[in-house]
Structure 1
């Protein structure tokens, strides 16, 4: 009896403290404490799920936790209230659906009975609901329909101060066995949430991430942008590189300036320029080329001076039939990407301020065989205004690039013909 009274006093005291803390701007505090006092059906569901999660302890390889839809369902009212308490302005179903389509290229079917969409950051075409928190082999998030926000899957101890709000349940953690035997009879050690030294910091980071992502994407709150680029860089880069979201000029510029062509990971650079959608072909990122045009300036001493060198490296990589891109792109798609890259770079050949010698259109001519050239013509050079003119003008550059860079026949004693000599033998048609 004394034990029950003590627990009750501790619980009431902790709730009062939580309610007092709620008056602060600390995002760790939530009005869910009101639900705790009300003893609602919602609170019972949370309490029951919390008991289950505390009993299992922090999941590990040896101690896997069997997640289900219920694990995320019980968190939705908590997360929604956290957002509202921290300035999130709920958007309409129509506006939210349009944003999800624009950013993640996913369609919300309002007629579907499913409460969530799962956006997979590793395989964006895999739409299977995945009830496992993010780890080294899994990375994704949930789109919460009708509530109109996005979230990772968070276990309750990682978003609420359960030791204050659910003090009685938290005390049971102290008497839970620290070990158990698995199906094979092996003794497995549990790691309790109460023993995680940085749980408070984890909780704060989770809540800040939830708030910042939703305010930034759906409330157009630019104040969250800096925090996200500093603390949630994988997510921010994925918006551009995985899903092809290039409408935010500041975000696009940030991604461009931290992405260089690297022979160890050449595919990464191409993610700035195109994305292959699920069953919808490719999208060329016109906004990337517009941003590069702003960044590339004559006599620039910054890393931006290597933009054309990076494009050259990627163009050469993409040309190879051994590249992974050659296995997922049709020949027409591949030619379209290469044509856009060469077209962007070729403009600087005609601007004397840049003294450009990359001969990018000549390289493209060298790379493309007869079938690829036919694709160019049949597609009207992909409607790039000066492409045909620049293509025809680059016949000498094709000769020069082939002789000096790819055949390796140029040297002190073997110089290629200059354009005047070469043109005499190859007059324009």
Structure 2
């Protein structure tokens, strides 16, 4: 295959049944899109490299790429995947994967080949024709025709163009300049051939295309290991941005990396819920299942702080004035009820705290924070059908008193101790 003879990474293990197999060369595969890619390459060589230029500081306007350039990237990515043993899914299975992972529905009647997934705003369906920079643009393109996905890359970022197309080398013998919008001066643009790290950039880009597609569509464990070491933002975004929790190993990895941060408190909540593009709430049931396995008695690891993180998030999220992404009050109560229900179970688990159970008083905190309207929502929805919720809610009346007196009113001290449960119960007998 002419366009791929010069790839820095032409050899990748695909794992599984191919262990011990010679790493595959993709140099001899024929590609009917060669002229297509050559045309895109000529344009990009004439424009010069996008590297080493501070476009904002230099006053250079960003250049949109064309659909034909994106098509050239897709052709290259498809051949890369085929050469590495990628198993292309059927149309229905592929469409279902895209829906489950990214929350996007592929319209079978659409004539567009590509679907844009925006990592800054998952609900924004506007087609972005700019190279990712992590600040203004961050997204990927789903190729509905080839049933793969990829970022947009410039052709020199994927292939060794100087070896594959030697007749084009003369293009880079001429200076490339662009006008600054700040002072109308000419800014010299470096050629792609002048980028010292270009080989490493190519290698990373190729590995990223192969690893992402083979992990998500072929469940390739080897590629998963590479991704959590080399593509961590993407992997975390699958869970936190798009609410993809079906892969238990990935979900566990994200949970263990996510701590409550008072400067970014909303980030912790992304483990538990997401607001879908139709405005509905999606609770992540799998998060609670994974947490139950992670939070164990006498655990010396960082997991021992899980209930502390939950308590901190509860205190943050219970304040409805935090303007949390415009969710309804009913959704807010539902989220809190489910999170607290998970945490409260440890109060009754005698494996914890020398046989006396956890003492975080989660349900008592919830009682303290909810106003009467929110309590009514809880009761109207039958405590969201959580089996022991009402029992635990009723049992937490003393915890409500204790939390208010000692933690939020600040009236507890050496000379002012709250009543113990026996004393308090005499004054507040259960109905």
- When normalised by structure 2's length, the TM-score is 0.90
Residue 43 of structure 1 deviates from its aligned partner by 2.8
Determine the C-alpha separation between the residues in 2 that align with 1:332 and 1:34.
58
Q: 1:107 aligns with which of 105, 110, 131?
A: 105
Give the number of the structure whose residues are more often helix, by fraction. 1
Whether the aligned pair in 2 keeps the contact of 1:269 and 1:314 (CA below 8 Å) is yes
Determine the C-alpha separation between the residues in 1 that align with 2:10 and 2:347.
62
Counterpart secondary structure, 2:286? helix
C-alpha distance 181-316 of structure 1, shift in aligned 2 (>3 A) = closer
C-alpha distance 334-221 of structure 1, shift in aligned 2 (>3 A) = same
Deviations 1:281-325 (A, max 9, x none): 111111111111101111111111111000000000001234241
The residue aligned with 1:364 is 366
> Is residue 381 of structure 2 the alignment partner of residue 379 of structure 1?
yes
Whether the aligned pair in 2 keeps the contact of 1:32 and 1:81 (CA below 8 Å) is no
The residue aligned with 1:341 is 339
Unaligned runs of 5+ in 2: 14-22
Residue 163 of structure 1 deviates from its aligned partner by 0.6
Matches within 5 A, 1:231-310: 231-310=230-309
Determine the C-alpha separation between the residues in 2 that align with 1:328 and 1:244.
18
Whether the aligned pair in 1 keeps the contact of 2:10 and 2:26 (CA below 8 Å) is no
Residue 137 of structure 1 deviates from its aligned partner by 2.1
C-alpha distance 29-154 of structure 1, shift in aligned 2 (>3 A) = farther
Identify the range of structure 1 (68-77 vs 151-160) with the bigger mean alpha-carbon deviation: 68-77
Whether the aligned pair in 2 keeps the contact of 1:342 and 1:360 (CA below 8 Å) is yes
Matches within 5 A, 1:22-421: 30-31=26-27, 34-35=30-31, 42-59=33-50, 60=53, 61=55, 62=60, 64-135=62-133, 136-174=135-173, 176-181=174-179, 185-325=184-324, 327-355=325-353, 356-421=358-423
Counterpart secondary structure, 2:141? strand
Residue 65 of structure 1 deviates from its aligned partner by 2.3
Residue 131 of structure 1 deviates from its aligned partner by 1.4
Residue 181 of structure 1 deviates from its aligned partner by 4.2
Determine the C-alpha separation between the residues in 2 that align with 1:304 and 1:130.
40
Identify the range of structure 1 (410-419 vs 16-25) with the bigger mean alpha-carbon deviation: 16-25
Determine the C-alpha separation between the residues in 2 that align with 1:17 and 1:397.
67
Determine the C-alpha separation between the residues in 2 that align with 1:187 and 1:348.
67
CA RMSD of superposed structures (Å): 2.3
Whether the aligned pair in 2 keeps the contact of 1:298 and 1:354 (CA below 8 Å) is yes
Determine the C-alpha separation between the residues in 2 that align with 1:343 and 1:48.
59
Unaligned runs of 5+ in 1: 1-13
Whether the aligned pair in 1 keeps the contact of 2:114 and 2:141 (CA below 8 Å) is yes
Whether the aligned pair in 1 keeps the contact of 2:361 and 2:399 (CA below 8 Å) is yes
Counterpart secondary structure, 1:189? strand
Counterpart secondary structure, 2:320? coil
Whether the aligned pair in 2 keeps the contact of 1:22 and 1:30 (CA below 8 Å) is no
C-alpha distance 387-199 of structure 1, shift in aligned 2 (>3 A) = same
C-alpha distance 425-210 of structure 1, shift in aligned 2 (>3 A) = same
C-alpha distance 308-76 of structure 1, shift in aligned 2 (>3 A) = same
Whether the aligned pair in 2 keeps the contact of 1:63 and 1:190 (CA below 8 Å) is no
Residue 191 of structure 1 deviates from its aligned partner by 1.5
* Aligned residues between the structures: 409
C-alpha distance 254-181 of structure 1, shift in aligned 2 (>3 A) = closer
C-alpha distance 177-127 of structure 1, shift in aligned 2 (>3 A) = same
